[in-house]
């Protein structure tokens, strides 16, 4: 009887014979060896075509685009996979039993990869898996490349073979995970194989897991030198999951511990989510920036950006609902496994969102959305800039064209504009039915009510055309546009009035930029017109030169750029509005004697120990002066607990000093240092911390504040304190340790609060704007932006300590905002579709003040004496017409 198996001696002879043949072969013959099989060559050609088409679709269309082309490509990838499978079947490559070598395995693996590409192409339309995270995409590419490279296994060195099998072993774990993840779909997909052949894609991960597992087991048994590579490939995913789980559990324990300790606090100043955010682990990023660690970031974004997975729950088909931070969730196996074993539900949804707003530095993504915007892209940006060097002012109009790439979905555009320091929005327009419609200024409450009613309620029946812009803390505004119809474009324009920064007698124009729909492929046209010829101008564009007083640039959209040029003398011309004249004057800080009795140290992770100890010692060196920190209440610092206090407080990634607890503001000094992350006042609204701000209403003078220089910029304040400084609750100066010692121990002088009732200071521009009664002969020559900037800063000055009060929006303040037509904490710009819409929401046009700012005209309204002149001219023309007609008669 013949045996069906080779004896060991025969196998050894065969292996020796193969090694001898390999040694006798040339590099060229080794490279071309797999192509001796024409089926392999055909499969590699089809795989290249399918892979290139899949990649080009992602690169050119992006994951946000829908379209009929997607279904066409699905059928193309599916057809290539089916066609090559039939070729394999016809040539006997799919028999259950194959000879040891050669057996056509390389060709069959190419067929499997064609099915994998086809499955992911179908996943775009029927997302069983959410959008793969970046590391998962690269892992799939590496595994696929290893399976292709398997055809050249005999040509590889021992080390290269070990590396190849390490990747294949890693891939086996990944496909086992994917096969288990979709096991709930198997019962549904089996009967659908006859009706809908596309359901065969459900079993692709299972096929990969079985084939790779069998190959790894058999080759490890037969070829001992492959075992180390296979062991490494199997161990790396296990170790990675262990490392990830350790960090995941550590963060969850830290959250639970902070919540437990919160119940023991003596004070209720800070919400629980603030204490949690302060203690979560952060990593050092580029340029000294800190950000949540890789694991912490995924924990906080789980079930928002990263899908938690549904192994045996539900049917899994279709995208999850709209999320707060992103419209499409990402699939990360590490997050899914960790979420299933240790659910990240320690934080409530509201608290999780609050922590994300602070730590992720993605406030735009955390904004409330009424409709999805995941298919929107920015097509082009047109920036028209007018600069008045002699007034140190600029006005920028940015027109953004937005395209909805979706096939059917109507969506909402959300843009967050980041403005230069001290800037204010003074105009907005929306194109409705091909016509530019300017916005009207109204209260925040009316603008919000109108937009919500039209977009969130009435749009369920029919879509109307509203747009709105809201003031945000931190030199930001949010612009909303609806509807962005499928396959159509929308255009919105925003006008920004800005002071020019001044550095070493150079003026700096900083371009506003925005977060929003993808603008990576957007084009930009920039036109900059100077009111007077600038000297020594430096631009970011090498090829573009100044022609006359105009600079023009075309190219790809760039968000971060600036111009610098020589600062000329200030103009003394005035702008007149409603019998008030607005005029520039140079600003120089004026010091006053100051000796603090209490120094408050706002310590966080950005503080160096030397800064803390020297600030304490210099302060307490003064007679009757005490040093305080906030740690579950105000605590006086002593020399004995100095080191321990620093160790505890420096672990805080940011700090929120309750300035309302400063008992004697007139003799107090707050010392702080900027952090890259920090809550803003709006984040705290509704908390007891915010409610206590009512105490500040009794405060008459701003609290003197010293801010240490940091790598964020010279004396960059934390976002929370920056808003308080804008509201004139704080009087801030900046410097280093030497400056602080000089202030406390030597000169004992502090800059005086520069603002007065009729004068606002723009320190970034080195100017002040003064309001005074206009004389009868005053000529309104200066740009109206003087009045707009004065009014905006004057509003912030008057709101001040009352920001958290319920009724701070008085009629007088609202009227002042309307007169200058500026967006502020109490006023917004809104565009509605018809005059009837304005009427039903009680939004009236104000004719007594300025209108939308514009580059076509200055936007001023005639003064009373100008009205009289116009009436006289009109009367004269009317009398001449009447006389002519009477004479003819």
From CA 874, how far away is CA 871, in angstroms rounded? 5
Contact 394, 531 (CB under 8 A): no
pLDDT value at residue 181: 92
Q: Which backbone phi and psi does 426 adopt, to 5 degrees?
A: -125, 5
Which residues are bridge partners to 601 per DSSP? 671
Percentage of the chain beyond pLDDT 70 is 85
Which residue has better confidence, 432 or 103? 432
Alpha-carbon distances of 638 from 630, 673, 885, rounded to whole Å: 14, 21, 95
| Average pLDDT rounded to a whole number, residues 299-322 | 62
Q: How many CB atoms lie within 10 A of CB 90?
A: 10
Angle between helices 294-301 and 227-262 (to 10 degrees): 60
DSSP H or E stretch at residue 569:
none
Query: Cα(709)–Cα(732) distance, rounded to whole angstroms?
Result: 12
Q: Residue 334 corresponds to which tokens in the numbers above?
A: 């590490």
Residue 153 has pLDDT above 90, yes or no: no
Contact 378, 519 (CB under 8 A): yes
Count of residues in the chain: 889
User: pLDDT category, 367, cuts 50, 70, 90?
Assistant: confident
Q: What is the mean pLDDT of residues 862-882?
A: 50
- Residue 693 vs residue 326, higher pLDDT: 693
* pLDDT beyond 90 at 400: yes
Nearest-CA neighbor of 705 among 729, 739, 662, 671?
A: 671
* 124 band by pLDDT with thresholds 50, 70 and 90: confident
How far is it, in rounded angstroms, from Cα 753 to Cα 704? 9
The single-letter DSSP state of residue 847 is -
Total-model pTM: 0.80
Residue 1 has pLDDT above 50, yes or no: no
Q: What's the pLDDT band for 280 if we cut at 50, 70, 90?
A: confident
pLDDT value of position 358: 84
**C-alpha pair distances (Å), 393 with each of 313, 528, 569:** 59, 13, 13
**pLDDT confidence bin for 352, thresholds 50/70/90:** confident
Distance in angstroms (rounded) separating the CA atoms of residues 115 and 108:
11
In this structure, is the dihedral angle defined by the CA atoms of residues 52, 53, 54 and 58, taken in order, positive or negative?
positive
At residue 18, the pLDDT reads 45
Nearest to 205 by CA among 304, 112, 125, 122: 112
Q: Which of 329-343, 562-576, 705-719 has the lowest mean pLDDT?
A: 705-719
| Token duo for residue 598 | 């209490």
Question: What percent of the chain has pLDDT above 90?
Answer: 45
Rounded Cα distance, 789 and 770, in Å: 11
- Whether 267 has a pLDDT exceeding 50, the answer reads yes
Cβ(792)–Cβ(824) below 8 Å: yes
| Residue 833 scores a pLDDT above 60 | yes
Q: What is the pLDDT of residue 262?
A: 80
Q: What is the pLDDT of residue 34?
A: 75
Q: Which residues pair with 482 in a beta bridge?
A: none
Cα–Cα distance measured from residue 817 to residue 254, given in angstroms and rounded to the nearest whole number: 46
Cα angle 491, 493, 496; round to 5: 160
With 70 as the cut, is the pLDDT of residue 160 above it? yes
Candidates 553, 578, 523; CA nearest to 378 is 523
Give the tens place of pLDDT for each residue, 214-227. 999 999 999 999 99
pLDDT band at 114 (very low <50, low <70, confident <90, very high): very high
- DSSP 3-state of 305: coil
pLDDT band at residue 530 using 50, 70 and 90 as cut-offs: very high
pLDDT at position 9 is 44
Domain 591-753 has CATH 3.40.50: yes
Cα–Cα distance, 436 to 180 (Å, whole number):
55
Residue 318 zone, left/alpha/beta (φ > 0; ψ -120 to 50; rest):
left
**Which of the pair, 774 or 231, is modelled with greater confidence?**
231
Residue indicated by tokens 């004389």 = 775
pLDDT given at position 640: 92
Give the model's pLDDT for residue 375: 85
Nearest Cα neighbor of 336 from 223, 461, 216, 245 is: 245
pLDDT given for residue 208 in this prediction: 94
* Residue 672 token pair: 């702080």
pLDDT digits 0-9 by tens, 467-496: 999 999 889 999 999 999 988 999 999 999
Is 376 strand, coil or helix? strand
48-87 pLDDT per residue, tens = 999 999 988 877 665 445 544 678 888 899 999 999 989 9
Sign of CA dihedral 679, 683, 685, 688: negative
Is residue 23 predicted with pLDDT exceeding 90? no
- Long-range contacts of the stretch 814-817 (C-beta < 8 A, 24+): 814/443, 816/791, 817/441, 817/791
Provide the pLDDT confidence category of residue 116 given band limits of 50, 70 and 90: very high
Mean pLDDT of 822-842: 92
pLDDT at 874 over 60: no
In the numeric block, the tokens 């590889």 are attached to 156
- Least confident stretch, 26-30, 171-175, 295-299, 348-352: 26-30
Pair 601, 637: CB distance under 8 Å: yes
pLDDT band at 717 (very low <50, low <70, confident <90, very high): confident
For the residues of 797-819, what is the DSSP string, one character each? HHHGGGTTSTT---HHHHHHHHH
C-alpha distances (whole Å) from 758 to each of 67, 143, 725, 790 are: 58, 70, 18, 9
The pLDDT, as a whole number, for residue 870 is 45
DSSP secondary structure letters along 460-517: GT-----EEEEEETTTEEEEEEEEE-TT-EEEEEEEEEEEPEEETTEEEEE--EEESS
156-162-167 Cα angle (round to 5): 105
Indicate if the pLDDT at residue 177 is higher than 50: yes
Give the per-residue pLDDT at 872.
54
The pLDDT, as a whole number, for residue 285 is 56
Distance in angstroms (rounded) separating the CA atoms of residues 299 and 252: 9
Among 360-374, 748-762, 784-798, whose mean pLDDT is lowest?
360-374
Mean pLDDT of 120-141: 89
Q: What is the pLDDT of residue 25?
A: 58
623-to-525, 597, 598, 765 alpha-carbon distances in Å: 62, 8, 11, 38
Residue 378 has a pLDDT of 95
Closest CA to 833 of 435, 420, 508, 255: 435
For residue 879, the model assigns a pLDDT of 52
- Tokens 């064209």 locate to 401
Residue range 566-582: mean pLDDT, rounded: 92
Domain boundaries, the chain: 21-231, 242-359, 375-589+756-858, 591-753, 864-889
Q: Are 466 and 830 in contact (CB under 8 A)?
A: yes
- Structural contact between residues 80 and 114, judged by C-beta atoms closer than 8 angstroms: yes
**Is pLDDT at 794 greater than 60 in this prediction?**
yes
Assign 460 a pLDDT band (cuts: 50, 70, 90). Answer: low
Least confident of 106-110, 848-852, 860-864: 860-864
Q: Compare 37 and 452 and report the one with higher pLDDT.
A: 452
Average pLDDT score over the chain:
84
- For residue 857, the surrounding DSSP H or E stretch is none
State pLDDT tens for residues 605-617: 889 999 999 999 9
Between vectors from CA 710 to CA 709 and to CA 716, what angle results, nearest 5°? Answer: 75
More confidently predicted of 865 and 290: 290
pLDDT at 860 (0 to 100): 44
Q: Measured between alpha carbons, how far is residue 808 from residues 106, 112, 264, 802 in Å?
A: 75, 67, 35, 6
pLDDT digits (tens, 9 = 90+) for 636-668: 999 999 999 999 999 888 899 999 899 888 999
The angle formed by the CA atoms of residues 114, 116 and 119, to the nearest 5 degrees, is 110
The whole-angstrom separation of Cα 202 and Cα 190 is 9
pLDDT at 540 over 60: yes
Q: Which residues of 193-212 are buried (b: 16+ CB within 10 A; e: fewer)?
A: eeeeebbbbbbbbbebbebb
The dihedral through the CA atoms of 793, 799, 801, 806 has a sign that is negative
Q: pLDDT value at position 414?
A: 94
Contact 492, 517 (CB under 8 A): no
């Amino acid at each position: 009887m013949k045996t069906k198996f080779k004896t060991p001696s025969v196998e050894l002879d065969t292996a020796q014979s193969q090694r001898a043949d390999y040694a006798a072969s040339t590099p060229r013959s080794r490279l071309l060896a797999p192509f001796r099989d024409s089926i392999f060559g055909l499969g590699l050609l089809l795989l290249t075509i399918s892979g290139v088409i899949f990649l080009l679709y992602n690169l050119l269309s992006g994951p946000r685009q829908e379209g009929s082309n997607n279904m066409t490509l699905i059928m193309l990838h599916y057809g290539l996979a089916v066609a090559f499978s039939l070729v394999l079947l016809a040539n006997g490559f799919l028999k259950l039993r194959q000879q040891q070598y050669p057996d056509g395995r390389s060709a069959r693996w190419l067929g499997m990869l064609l099915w994998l590409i086809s499955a992911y192409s179908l996943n775009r339309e029927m997302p069983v898996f959410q959008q793969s995270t970046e590391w998962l995409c690269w892992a799939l590419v590496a595994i696929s490349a290893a399976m292709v490279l398997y055809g050249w296994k005999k040509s590889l060195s021992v080390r290269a073979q070990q590396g190849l099998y390490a990747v294949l072993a890693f891939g086996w774990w990944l496909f086992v995970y994917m096969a288990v993840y979709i096991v709930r779909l198997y019962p549904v997909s089996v009967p659908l194989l006859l009706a809908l052949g596309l359901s065969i894609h459900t079993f692709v991960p299972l096929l990969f897991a079985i084939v790779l597992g069998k190959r790894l087991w058999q080759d490890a048994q037969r070829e001992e030198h492959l075992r180390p590579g296979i062991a490494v490939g199997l161990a790396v995913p296990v170790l990675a999951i262990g490392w990830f789980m350790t960090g995941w559990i550590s963060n969850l324990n830290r959250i639970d511990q902070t919540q437990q300790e919160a119940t023991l606090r003596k004070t209720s100043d800070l919400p629980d989510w603030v204490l949690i955010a302060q203690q979560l682990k952060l990593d050092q990023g580029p340029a000294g920036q800190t950000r949540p660690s890789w694991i912490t970031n995924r924990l906080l974004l789980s079930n928002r950006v990263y899908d938690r997975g549904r192994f045996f729950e539900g049917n899994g088909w279709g995208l999850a609902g709209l999320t707060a931070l992103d419209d499409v969730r990402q699939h990360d196996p590490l997050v899914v496994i960790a979420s299933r074993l240790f659910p990240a539900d320690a934080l409530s949804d509201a608290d999780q969102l609050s922590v994300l707003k602070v730590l992720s530095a993605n406030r735009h993504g955390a904004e409330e959305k009424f409709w999805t915007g995941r298919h929107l892209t920015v097509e082009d940006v047109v920036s028209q800039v007018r600069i008045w060097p002699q007034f140190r002012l600029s006005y920028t109009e940015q027109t953004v064209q937005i395209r909805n790439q979706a096939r059917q979905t109507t969506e909402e555009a959300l843009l967050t504009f980041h403005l230069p320091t001290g800037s204010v929005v003074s105009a907005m327009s929306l194109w409705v039915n091909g016509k530019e419609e300017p916005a009207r200024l109204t209260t925040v409450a009316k603008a919000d009510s109108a937009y919500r009613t039209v977009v969130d309620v009435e749009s369920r029946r029919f879509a109307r055309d509203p747009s709105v812009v809201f003031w945000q803390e931190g030199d930001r505004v949010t612009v909303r546009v609806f509807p962005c119809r499928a396959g159509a474009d929308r255009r919105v324009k925003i006008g920004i009035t800005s002071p020019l920064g001044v550095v070493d007698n150079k003026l700096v124009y900083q371009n506003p930029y925005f977060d929003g729909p993808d603008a990576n492929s957007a084009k930009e046209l920039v036109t900059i017109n100077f009111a007077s010829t600038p000297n020594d101008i430096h631009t970011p564009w090498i090829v573009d030169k100044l022609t006359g007083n105009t600079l023009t640039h075309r190219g790809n959209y760039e968000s971060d750029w600036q111009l610098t040029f020589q600062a000329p003398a200030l103009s003394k011309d005035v702008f007149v509005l409603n019998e008030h004249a607005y005029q520039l004057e140079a600003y120089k800080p004026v010091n006053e004697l100051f000796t603090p009795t209490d120094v408050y140290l706002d310590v966080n992770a950005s503080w160096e120990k030397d800064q803390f100890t020297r600030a304490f010692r210099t302060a307490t060196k003064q007679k009757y002066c005490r040093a305080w920190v906030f740690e579950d209440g105000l605590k006086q610092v002593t020399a004995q607990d100095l080191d321990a206090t620093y160790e505890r407080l420096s672990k805080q990634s940011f700090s929120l000093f309750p300035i309302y607890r400063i008992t004697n503001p007139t003799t107090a000094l707050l010392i702080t240092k900027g952090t890259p992350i920090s809550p803003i006042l709006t984040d705290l609204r509704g908390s007891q911390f915010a409610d206590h701000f009512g105490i500040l209403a009794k405060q008459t003078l701003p609290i003197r504040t010293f801010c240490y220089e940091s790598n964020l910029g010279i004396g960059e304040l934390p976002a929370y304190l920056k808003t308080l400084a804008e509201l004139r609750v704080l009087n801030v100066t900046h410097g280093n340790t030497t400056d602080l010692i000089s202030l406390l121990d030597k000169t004992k002088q502090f800059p005086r609060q520069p603002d007065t009732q009729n004068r606002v200071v723009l320190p970034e521009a080195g100017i002040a704007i003064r309001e005074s009664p206009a004389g009868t002969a005053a000529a309104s020559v200066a740009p109206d932006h003087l009045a707009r900037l004065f009014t905006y800063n004057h509003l912030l000055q008057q709101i001040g300590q009352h920001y958290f009060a319920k009724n701070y929006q008085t009629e007088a303040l609202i009227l002042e905002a309307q007169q200058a037509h500026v967006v502020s904490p109490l006023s917004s710009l809104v565009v509605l579709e018809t005059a009837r819409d304005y009427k039903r929401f009680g939004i009236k046009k104000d004719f007594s003040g300025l209108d939308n700012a514009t580059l076509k005209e200055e936007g001023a309204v005639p003064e009373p004496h100008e009205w009289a002149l116009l009436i006289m001219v009109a009367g004269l023309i009317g009398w001449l017409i009447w006389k002519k007609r009477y004479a003819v008669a």
